[in-house]
């Protein structure tokens, strides 16, 4: 199992470096096209498949870092992608693209919700959005984790993390503290690049 936490040797450069406006528009598209947990699915579709700014390996590493670090996952991911190409200005452009229009939409929807929160139609809409968010979250898990489905070590660590979170009810930081070091050790020992360096 190979794990690359995005050192320069693991980063592949895209054919064309995105401009600041392109970063903002791409993250605006991600935020407007997704619901809740679906952000990761749309992020992969736009950043990896459409724009080809990151490959799958770097995308997974960046997404993992974004989830481990404090703060909102997609905000962290936008900062990563933006700063990857344009430093602070790129991070700012990506974050503004991610939040500006959705923020305005949320303000309008919140106003409408408080006016009509008891209407049955409003409850139906909220249930529908929840179903969409769950479906999109499952789709990104299947798409990005496809290459690990036949890796026994990856499946073992995934099962242990699931059991620790769901059945033992350990907090995320405890699961990472317990499983992180052995997972990194196993990945490092099986990294083909390491053998070439030694």
DSSP H helix total and E strand total for the chain: 8, 0
Residue 151's alpha-carbon distances to 4, 64, 73, 88, in angstroms, are 16, 18, 26, 37
Per residue in 106-155, pLDDT (tens digit) is 899 888 888 877 778 777 877 787 777 777 667 766 766 676 777 888 88
CB atoms within 10 A of CB 166: 9
Q: What is the pLDDT of residue 3?
A: 43
Q: What is the pLDDT of residue 25?
A: 96
Could you tell me if 39 and 74 are in contact, meaning their C-beta atoms sit under 8 angstroms apart? yes
Q: Where are the domains of the chain?
A: 8-144, 150-198
Q: What is the pLDDT of residue 10?
A: 53
Q: What is the pLDDT of residue 124?
A: 80
User: Chunked in runs of 10, what are the mean pLDDT values of the chain (198 residues)?
Assistant: 47 77 95 73 89 90 87 92 95 95 89 80 77 72 70 85 89 87 82 52
Could you tell me if 48 and 54 are in contact, meaning their C-beta atoms sit under 8 angstroms apart? yes
Could you tell me if 54 and 144 are in contact, meaning their C-beta atoms sit under 8 angstroms apart? no
């Amino acid at each position: 199992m190979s794990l690359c936490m995005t050192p320069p040797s693991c980063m592949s450069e895209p054919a064309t470096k995105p401009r600041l406006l392109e970063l903002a528009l791409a993250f605006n598209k991600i935020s407007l096209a997704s619901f809740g947990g679906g952000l990761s699915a749309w992020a992969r579709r736009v950043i990896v498949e459409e724009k080809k700014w990151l490959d799958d390996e770097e995308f997974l590493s960046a997404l993992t870092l974004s989830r481990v670090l404090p703060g909102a996952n997609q905000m962290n991911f936008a900062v990563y992608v933006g700063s990857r190409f344009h430093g602070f200005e790129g991070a700012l452009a990506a974050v503004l693209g991610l939040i500006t229009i959705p923020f305005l939409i949320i303000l309008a929807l919140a106003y409408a919700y408080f006016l009509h929160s008891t209407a049955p139609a409003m409850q139906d809409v909220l249930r529908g959005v929840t179903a969409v968010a769950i479906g999109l979250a499952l789709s990104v898990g299947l798409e990005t984790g496809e290459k690990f489905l036949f890796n026994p070590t990856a499946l073992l660590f995934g099962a242990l993390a699931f059991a620790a979170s769901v059945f033992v009810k350990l907090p995320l930081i405890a699961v990472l503290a317990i499983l992180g070091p052995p997972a990194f050790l196993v990945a490092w020992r099986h990294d083909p690049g390491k053998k070439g360096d030694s």
